[in-house]
Structure 1
């Protein structure tokens, strides 16, 4: 299918050569699925644009082409945009994926997808209304990624002797397309009230149905150790086990993890988590109260006992808790201002929420180590906003009319 598509272009566009260059670049990231998928999205758009819009081989693009591509990404034509993310190909075969399965092109796939904010989707669902139409808008994070990924591709092409220039590095005024934003973590964190309802709801779900003991354990684990979802799912070379939760000679508990960039680290664990959530879940699993250093039991398992859950599965379990919390708070009479953030809440919010709550009580370097931030300034700027508070306080009492 891909070969036939490439053969449809004239020889002057060198479509097959460009495709091979892109594949060679992406092969370097095959060991990290998330990075591979992200890089493929951007460099695939660049290849398609060079063939279908610019009408020139991808390795012959220059600075003006890079600028034109950026403008294109910021405002792509409607026929390049789909309503949701779709698979590029559709598999034909049984429910279980087999090597003998065949594939066809998915006619619904588009290089760009229009995403609707989670909050808007939930409000529309609650009101039984259609979603409002919004123009496509590329996020600032995606804009920065276009420069990074496409720049990396051309550096790869230079190293391979395919070209001599990197058009994306040659763009002088990148600020035209992207801006530096400080993360407003408050907009992606739960309030103390909301978090208390979330954890109580998870506990109530576990009491009502023991199958939700796993859900409660996931919520408590993510929150207690500022984890990313990949820390629970694992990586190609590491899967989290109960034995990764270890006590040192001083009686302190640590979670030994392999995080982003395959960096090994250890995260300090609060006693409350060990005593009230880890012990509870292990007893539910009919294990000893505390894990041993060499225990191989999966940290999270399927209900049938198979080790490991997918990223999507964990997110769905968390979403069920958020949805139940939203309903519960509404039923108990809390106003919309108090519950609205829950409509946007996602798994990663638990990391921000916990770090925000803990920052006033922890040394900045200790929190940085457990969050696994490379730079202390990231932790400081995100969670220690004393300068913002001082700035707000300095203007709060000023009068408009003296």
Structure 2
């Protein structure tokens, strides 16, 4: 019987290529692993139940990846730790699993790795290739804050080991995903028992309710000025970075997520996504959950960034109705850029901005948050800056939040700067 966890499900694209009427197309190392468990654990049945559940969410790569992470952990835990068939888990088992997620064994924790399996074959993928397990893969990963890594690099020091800690948001996902899985097994007639996750008592012991993304993930005005000015300097020095400047300005100005810029299987952004109604410009987007929406576009973006970028592409200054020109292209003009490539471009701008801040004598305190910044911070930065000047309903619509409470709690919750100023000048002594 195996003693260690292995990855059971492959990448999104390879998963979609499986023949779901049988298990023989799976990686041989996976089928061998499953058949090595005692028959009373019903490992194959649990695997097929999870595979069927993931198949029902295989129309969206991000959703698939998230759901795969949590339900795969549950299956591995049931076989290796609980030593009980997945479909026979009950409430007390799920409580034990949740406790395990909060503090998994050290052999279940590793660094973040990019691949679950390594291909063995020629330089180009072929059907005859075989795959082996990436021996660095673990079900749980320690994520070292970018700020810590950057400070260590700047000071030529090694990054100290960090203990694993599951965030409240991740624990909320465990509840949601595993609850959905067990509901799936009930709906499909795989089990007749009640949903064991939803019967867990005292959920507050495991997760925080109404968790929202902190508006702390926003640059300061000084840091944002350095970022946009750095992108402008890069564009002035190298025309290829006109695209970089356009991407930075677009993500910020339109509150976009990376998927809004890259596109989805059923939708790709084009210059025709911009629409003029005779008075205002709008950006039409297909966002999370394949929901169509339109985002209002600010004048400065049109005048200073959209027109500028289109001019460098030898296009008329403004988009035409239903224009098919891709919103962003490769340097050679091929439509679309990968999210990884765009993230790398944004990180380059952040890194150059940090260097400019150092060169110009800015303090560590003034630079600190920029070390932690990621692409998604541009959306939060823009919303944080704009919240004091926009009606909450307008900002909610452009951010495409389903609930106004998300916008309220994230961007209108007491306005931290005002709260800080209200106490800043108050003394400690002689208050009589």
1:353 is paired with a residue of what secondary structure? helix
TM-score (norm 2): 0.89
Match of 2:301 in 1: 273
State yes or no: 1:19 paired with 2:47.
yes
CA 1:360–1:95: 2 relative to 1, 3 Å: farther
Match of 2:7 in 1: none
Query: Residues 232 and 240 of structure 1 are in contact (CA less than 8 Å); yes or no, is this contact kept in structure 2?
Result: yes
Deviation at 1:92, TM superposition (A): 2.6
Match of 2:390 in 1: 362
Deviation at 1:53, TM superposition (A): 0.8
2:367 to 339, 344, 349: 339
CA-to-aligned-CA distance 1:75-106 (integer Å, 9 cap, x gap): 11111111223422112344544445332222
Query: Residues 119 and 344 of structure 1 are in contact (CA less than 8 Å); yes or no, is this contact kept in structure 2?
Result: yes
Q: Which has the higher helix share?
A: 1
* Bigger mean CA deviation after superposition, 206-215 or 390-399: 390-399
TM-score (norm 1): 0.96
Match of 1:205 in 2: 234
CA 1:184–1:238: 2 relative to 1, 3 Å: closer
1:2-401 to 2 correspondences below 5 Å: 2-163=30-191, 164-180=193-209, 183=212, 185-250=214-279, 252-386=280-414, 397=426, 401=431
Query: Residues 198 and 322 of structure 1 are in contact (CA less than 8 Å); yes or no, is this contact kept in structure 2?
Result: yes
CA 1:99–1:268: 2 relative to 1, 3 Å: farther
CA 1:216–1:186: 2 relative to 1, 3 Å: same
1:130 is paired with a residue of what secondary structure? coil
CA-to-aligned-CA distance 1:131-151 (integer Å, 9 cap, x gap): 011111111111111111111
Residues in 2 aligned to 1:387 and 1:217: alpha-carbon distance in whole angstroms: 30
Q: List gaps (5 residues or longer) in structure 1.
A: none
After TM superposition, what 4+ stretches of structure 1 lie above 6 angstroms from structure 2? none
Deviation at 1:180, TM superposition (A): 3.7
Structural RMSD (CA): 1.7
Residues in 2 aligned to 1:134 and 1:375: alpha-carbon distance in whole angstroms: 35
CA-to-aligned-CA distance 1:159-210 (integer Å, 9 cap, x gap): 1111222111111111111124764744211111111110000000011111
CA-to-aligned-CA distance 1:14-69 (integer Å, 9 cap, x gap): 00010000000000110110010000000000000100110110010011110111
Residues in 2 aligned to 1:94 and 1:274: alpha-carbon distance in whole angstroms: 48
CA-to-aligned-CA distance 1:299-335 (integer Å, 9 cap, x gap): 1111121111111111100000000000000110011
* Bigger mean CA deviation after superposition, 89-98 or 167-176: 89-98
1:25 is paired with a residue of what secondary structure? helix
CA 1:330–1:266: 2 relative to 1, 3 Å: same
1:327 is paired with a residue of what secondary structure? helix
Q: List gaps (5 residues or longer) in structure 2.
A: 1-28
Match of 2:21 in 1: none
CA 1:353–1:48: 2 relative to 1, 3 Å: same
Residues in 2 aligned to 1:100 and 1:288: alpha-carbon distance in whole angstroms: 50
Deviation at 1:295, TM superposition (A): 1.2
CA 1:373–1:90: 2 relative to 1, 3 Å: same
Alignment: residue pair count: 401
CA-to-aligned-CA distance 1:197-242 (integer Å, 9 cap, x gap): 1000000001111111111000000000000001001111001111
